[in-house]
Structure 1
């Protein structure tokens, strides 16, 4: 057990028993833990120290609570959040299964019907959240968990909490929100207004990758990818997989329009 894990375990000793690290992403480290009060396994996510320093505890906890009321079969719920010994953490159910990223790493492309089904169910979750005033802001294969083939969207609220709490300080500290491959053009250019249509773009990018085996835009660096997102049209998905039906290819193309106004109005329309 590392020094950080030992400190975290000591800070949460009355509430959670840390069992092992599951992985680390750009914003948080994930641990498998036992919820001692409810006797259940949970995924406990701890924000990276540099991110926690930018945010401050109070604002983070206030903002992330706005998503605690989201109840939808394809949204992974928020169980708990808080601070302990300088750590900012939030807790979600531990789901046995894999992420869509794991599946793509293994299979490269997903069957067309399965890809459309996953995208449709994620779109349903997004539409529900949008109608409740919550935009995800970081839809990507890593945030889509597959449980018995059923997608569950994770980390609802974390990107919102980080962006709302940190404001313009994100770029000053070298921290950025969103994974470049799936960012909408307006997120890539740090536009002030991020809307539901930004999530539609990101979901379009994920569906594109499920069908084509590669994201719409690739590059050697985050900067290159962002430049392409802002300035270049993605190749039609049928260039990379001819068997994609025309109506599916058209829907992907509309979701990936540069201007939000040219995309689907809602995730449900997608």
Structure 2
């Protein structure tokens, strides 16, 4: 069990532990100077294993360097005696795991909206040469907003992220098994955590997409196809999942931006409004990300155009 921090760290007064998932404890804290509450993540480096303290320092540096609406915003950081800490904006919401436990299966439009909301910060991380390595429902906070009262996704916990721009040093040892959650880890990361790539994050997000729609994990050899689980699934949804979930990372989308680009091609407002669903795809399912361009089966769906279409590249940007 981690020791509890002192009552104050830096200028922040700790109030209570916050139910925020992550590799280190997070606390509600008060900033008396600005009169606001923040979230404060803390670790006693003196009593923690050296590797864990190194990961926390890396998380501090990464979080301070990165800035995206789909990530927590860092406000301050410092050291207080043996304690390392950093303060973040306080966001209210519940995890995607909580929503999935409540609803079992998410409606198609909601699941695709959450998918896009996760891919956007992942795309930013990948462009910043960062592999998240722990994409899972527990690490997605759903924050209510004007466009999405059910909550827009905010990606949590960079505690085991891999900074590829810091080529001169690494914390993960070759041969070390996956540091994230086994059910969401890509095969190459399960074998060797140091081998995790942007495509490994894509695999994890594909598992998450399947679980949102099917209400179960895609484990074993005979899990059902998504179009058997989701009555109103467009023809391309199974192809998208298979290309995200390919065991061979060379057959997978290489990075989150490639998945967003594929979605942009498939989910147009016109396609979403279409009422006739094609009985089968005129193309064979793509065997690799490279073949995705040849597998543009016509999408379909019902209801109004989802707001998140404007989030896709070339259509606008997230609020």
TM-score by length of 2: 0.68
Q: Distance in 2 between matches of 1:238 and 1:180?
A: 25
**Counterpart for residue 36 of structure 1:** 32
Q: Where in structure 2 are there 5+ consecutive unaligned residues?
A: 145-150, 260-319
- Residue 129 (structure 1) aligns with: 125
Whole-angstrom CA distance in 2 between matches of 1:212 and 1:69: 36
Question: CA shift at 1:215, angstroms?
Answer: 2.1
Q: Which moved more, 1:111-120 or 1:25-34?
A: 25-34
Corresponding residue number in structure 1 for 2:293 = none
Deviation at 1:85, TM superposition (A): 4.1
Q: Distance in 1 between matches of 2:111 and 2:179?
A: 25
Query: 1:224 aligns to what?
Result: none
Question: SS where residue 45 of structure 1 aligns?
Answer: strand
CA distance in 2 between partners of 1:59 and 1:262 (Å): 31
RMSD across aligned positions (CA): 3.2
2-side partners of 1:162 and 1:42: how far apart? Answer: 26
Distance in 2 separating the partners of 1:30 and 1:190: 29
Give the Å deviation of 1:55: 2.0
Aligned-partner Cα distance in 1 for 2:65–2:110: 29
Unaligned runs of 5+ in 1: 218-227
Distance 1:120 1:127 in 2: 10
1:158 deviation in Å?
1.8
SS of the residue corresponding to residue 117 of structure 1 reads: helix
Offset of 1:209 from its aligned partner? 1.0
User: Which structure features the higher share of helix residues?
Assistant: 1
After the TM superposition, which residues 99-110 of structure 1 pair with which residues of structure 2 at under 5 Å, given as runs?
99-110=95-106
C-alpha contact (below 8 Å) 1:18/1:33 kept by paired residues: yes
| More off after superposition, 193-202 vs 56-65 | 56-65
Secondary structure of 2:161 counterpart? helix
Structure with more contact order per residue of length (Cα contacts < 8 Å, sep ≥ 6)? 1
Aligned to 1:20: 16
**Cα deviation, residue 42, structure 1:** 1.8
Q: Which residue of 2 aligns with 1:168?
A: 173
Distance 2:46 2:6 in 1: 20
Larger Rg: 2
CA contact (8 A) 1:63 1:161 kept: no
Judging changes above 3 Å, is the alpha-carbon distance between structure 1 residues 198 and 10 closer, same or farther for their aligned structure 2 residues?
same
Q: Distance in 1 between matches of 2:55 and 2:7?
A: 24
- Aligned residue for 2:3? 4
Give the C-alpha shift of residue 106 in structure 1: 1.2
TM-score normalised over the length of structure 1: 0.79
Question: CA contact under 8 A between 1:63 and 1:165: conserved in structure 2?
Answer: no
Q: 1:51 to 1:193 in 2, by over 3 A?
A: farther
Measured in 2, the distance between the counterparts of 1:101 and 1:208 equals: 13
Q: Please, which moves more after superposition, 56-65 or 162-171?
A: 162-171
Choose from 190, 202, 222 the match for 2:192. 190
3-state DSSP of counterpart to 1:18: strand
Deviations 1:54-112 (A, max 9, x none): 32646742563134222222222233344444344333222111111111111111111
The yes-or-no answer on 1:255 pairing with 2:254 is no
- Aligned residues of 2:199 and 2:252 also touching (Cα < 8 A): yes
CA contact (8 A) 1:11 1:85 kept: no
